[in-house]
Copies of this chain bind each other. A is one copy, B any other.
Amino acid sequence: MHPDHLPEDCRPISNLLSRIGDKWTILVMRVLEQGEPIRFKELHRAIGGISQRMLTVTLRHLERDGLVIRTVYPTIPPRVEYELSERGLGLQQAMVPLFEWTKDNARDIYQSQIAFDLAKDKAVT
Contact = CB atoms under 8 A, between A and B. Distances in A.
B116 A64 contact: yes
Nearest to A49: B3
Nearest to A5: B48
A26 B30 contact: no
Oligomer: number of copies = 2
A94 B101 contact: yes
A18 B9 contact: no
B27 A99 contact: no
A98 B100 CA distance: 13
Interface in A9-39: 9-14, 16-24, 26-27, 30
Interface string A43-69: 000011110000000000001111000
